[in-house]
């Protein structure tokens, strides 16, 4: 019965991917998976670790207004997006531009979450003419300590096993939430709506072995790339950074310091919500919506602004 339940949940996960509307674009720079939904101003939605285009609706629903057209991608090594030899954030950013060419979309607002931040930043730096605004949610920051090689083997076993991941999701959800960056104090005050969203999000990680190559690449290539020293001061795009003080993953202080280096930035502080901004989704949604709408035609320089939410 125990194993039968696992197989049932895994089968449901595979069916969810098939029903998600996921497509593969054959661009001038190679293949990339994506889904597109909604109508209005286009928004490129870049997932974090253990993500994928198939999660686009689940992950963006509480944070992005449905009056936008969301283009959610699968980054290198996730689901059906290939993992090239040169799987760097810069190469990934160029592939985003190629995808926009294939979809005939001239310009987008870009939202990068967690490990999606490096390629979002590279897109804004390398293709500023294609980027109307940049939003970083709990974005990865330097310095990033690359784990020792022995842990790469362990990570491949852990993230390559749907069964191990399913056990954590099904029977140890608190541990899984902490791995997702939701601190225990935040877990204790979750609303029923937030609990349901987290549960759906955790099960959307399955099948995790379809994401293992992307996860490994994020840990040993994508995030360490930030250590090369990104020229944040050269960003010309209006930028919104939203970060929680109690985020156990990327440093809040470093995120705030990076915002100060970006000429046209706004920094929003969440006092307590963890990596996923739990309890503040409506505020995040409003901030993102207002920022995209206010910057779609903005050309003048704007000062660094700060806003805090508790």
- Domain CATH for 98: 3.40.50.1820
- How many Å is the Cα radius of gyration of the chain? 18
- Crossing angle between the packed helical segments 149-159 and 162-171, to the nearest 10 degrees: 70
* Alpha carbon 219 to its chain's center: 14
pLDDT the model gives residue 238 = 97
Is the per-residue pLDDT at 266 higher than 50? yes
Tens of pLDDT, residue by residue over 212-233, are: 999 999 999 999 999 999 999 9
Smallest Cα–Cα separation from 287: which of 305, 262, 300?
Answer: 305
Per-residue confidence band for 299, with pLDDT thresholds at 50, 70 and 90: very low
- Ranking 88-92, 141-145, 298-302 by mean pLDDT, the lowest is 298-302
Average pLDDT of the chain? 93
Per-residue confidence band for 303, with pLDDT thresholds at 50, 70 and 90: very low
Q: Which pairing describes strands 30-37 and 69-73: parallel, antiparallel, or unpaired?
A: antiparallel
pLDDT the model gives residue 64 = 86
Domain that holds residue 251: 2-309
Q: Return d(Cα 170, Cα 174) in angstroms, integer.
A: 10
Hey, what are 114's tokens?
A: 């967690």
> pTM (2 decimals)?
0.93
The CA distances from residue 143 to 151, 154, 182, 223, 255, in Å, are 19, 23, 22, 9, 11
Is the per-residue pLDDT at 159 higher than 70? yes
DSSP for 171-197 reads H-HHHHHHHTT--HHHHHT--HHHHHH
* Burial of 50 per CB tally in 10 Å (0-12, 13-18, 19+): buried
Tens of pLDDT, residue by residue over 124-153, are: 999 999 999 999 999 999 999 999 989 999
> Per-residue pLDDT averaged across 9-15, rounded?
96
Is the per-residue pLDDT at 310 higher than 60? no
- Ranking 64-73, 121-130, 186-195 by mean pLDDT, the lowest is 64-73
pLDDT the model gives residue 222 = 98
Domain count for the chain, please give it. 1
pLDDT the model gives residue 302 = 38
Hey, what are 36's tokens?
A: 């597109």
């Amino acid at each position: 019965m125990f194993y039968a339940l696992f197989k049932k949940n895994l089968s449901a996960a595979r069916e969810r991917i098939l029903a998600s509307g996921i497509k593969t674009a054959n661009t001038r720079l190679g293949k990339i998976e994506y889904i597109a939904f909604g109508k209005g101003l286009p928004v490129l939605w870049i997932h974090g670790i253990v993500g994928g285009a198939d999660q686009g609706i689940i992950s963006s629903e509480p944070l992005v207004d449905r009056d936008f057209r969301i283009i959610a991608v699968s980054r290198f090594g996730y689901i059906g997006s290939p993992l090239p030899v040169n799987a760097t954030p810069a190469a990934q950013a160029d592939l985003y531009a190629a995808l926009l060419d294939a979809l005939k979309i001239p310009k987008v607002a870009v939202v990068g979450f967690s490990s999606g931040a490096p390629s979002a930043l590279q897109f804004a730096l390398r293709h500023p003419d294609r980027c109307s605004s940049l939003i970083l949610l709990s974005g990865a920051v330097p310095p990033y300590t690359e784990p020792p090689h022995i842990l790469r083997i362990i990570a491949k076993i852990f993230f390559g096993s749907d069964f191990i991941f399913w056990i954590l999701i099904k029977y140890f959800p608190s541990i899984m939430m902490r791995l997702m960056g939701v601190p225990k104090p935040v877990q204790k005050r979750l609303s029923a709506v937030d609990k349901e969203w987290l549960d759906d999000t955790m099960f959307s990680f399955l099948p995790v072995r379809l994401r293992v190559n992307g996860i490994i690449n994020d840990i040993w290539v994508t995030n360490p790339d930030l250590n090369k020293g990104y020229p944040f001061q050269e960003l010309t795009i209006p930028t919104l950074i939203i970060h929680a003080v109690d985020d156990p993953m990327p440093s809040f202080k470093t995120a705030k310091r990076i915002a100060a280096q970006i000429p046209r930035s706004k920094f929003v502080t969440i006092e307590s919500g963890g990596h996923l901004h739990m309890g503040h989704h409506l505020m995040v949604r409003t901030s993102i919506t207002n920022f995209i709408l206010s910057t779609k035609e903005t050309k003048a320089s704007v000062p660094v602004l700060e806003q805090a939410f508790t």
